[in-house]
Amino acid sequence: MSESDIRAAVEQELPGVRADLERLVRIPGIAFEGFDHSHVERSAEAVAELLRGCDLDVKVVRRGGQPAVIGRKPAPAGAPTVLLYAHHDVQPVGDLSLWESDPFEPVERDGRLYGRGAADDKAGVMAHVAALRAFGDQLPVGVVLFIEGEEEYGSDSLEALLAEFRDELASDVIVIADSGNWDVGVPALTTSLRGVINCFVEVRTLRHAVHSGMFGGAVPDALTALSRLLATLHDDAGDVAVEGMVGRAGAAVDYPEDRFRAEAGVVDGVSLVGTGRITDRIWTKPALAVLGIDAPATGEAANALVPWAKAKLNVRLAPGDDPKRAYQALRTHLEQHAPWGAQVTVTFEHDGAPCVIDASGPMFDAARAAFREAWDGTAPVDIGIGGSIPFIATFQELFPRAAILVTGVEDPHAQAHGPNESLHLGEFARVCLAEALLLAKVARVGVPA
């Protein structure tokens, strides 16, 4: 198929692709504990049916976690095989009052499709489907689709699945459609991602609550102790102050502050934290945030000194850091900076490795050319991502010869993981076209030597 043929085929398929995307968005497939996992099962079956419709050999698999879907179509003689990754599970919706419409009833407003998972990552699933539909029975490469079912919950069973089905998943190129573009109208390839550590820190100062008037002034309460401990995690400029966590400069592009503040929703008068270029701060340096605190709610708080308090911490690790070593550094810092001799307990939840991708070679050249054509001459930008996709490091380890292309459908206004998540429909059309063009160009490159 020529480029014009591919463009016409993708355009013809887009209405059906959007309709199927909306059907997927209506399934509340949340893999977190406490949610009805029958919806994740429904989501996996819906994806499996979509892949069967593309004439793939399909199976739903699981190894202790939520269901993933594997679809395969052999390569034509001498052609390379491409692994296409996305995930069908979604984040919880959070506070429903913050949504302008039902998160599981897709709605179009101002050229964007709103709904949980509309961008992250059901649109990634449908971008793969769109490319396959565009080629029909003229697919120029072999494909293996791996659509995960618990990425948002930490991919706990992913390594077991990859190990068991390693031979079936072996490929020359891996396309991971779970990132984003630099801006509306500017495509991107993601070449580095930060790692992640989640843990809990609990502070105890008393065996039980005591009267704040009788004992306050001499006895420290745990919530104040926890607050002082958390304050030691950053220096006055807002940089992470945990000794031993690494960071580096060197991001290839900068992020204008006014654009960054607007896209992040920073309130007027609030200063940014950290030092160096904004892209260094969010891509190549560590970050540390307090995600939540267990303590009495203000409406129920008695005039009593709090005996214990607990916080959940989230660390984003710079590319090049090691999660196990960084966790020990954080744990040591928390234990050594406990105020007033408070008892400190640190509990590990999960971690994930950062990664750096060497985005050079013919497959990356093919990807850049496909993006440039899909965006009508706009060259893609190599970007880092402050978020984490820890399993990319696993793919690098299991398939060291494969070129890993990290792409995506999100833009800076998508609000993935937040209320009113949305997908820019014009950009989605370009992503679908870019993937189809990429498969054609990869076929012309051929199987790597």
Residues known to be catalytic = 89, 151
First to last CA, the chain: 25
Cβ(79)–Cβ(140) below 8 Å: yes
Pairwise CA distance, residues 225 & 238, whole Å:
20
Give the total residue count for the chain: 449
Nearest to 315 by CA among 242, 266, 248: 242
For residue 431, give both structure tokens. Answer: 């992503």
Distance of CA 299 to the CA centre of its chain: 35
Nearest to 49 by CA among 40, 59, 36: 59
For residue 289, give both structure tokens. Answer: 């945030």
For residue 262, give both structure tokens. Answer: 């607007």
Pairwise CA distance, residues 417 & 322, whole Å:
26
Name residue 288's beta-bridge partners. 315
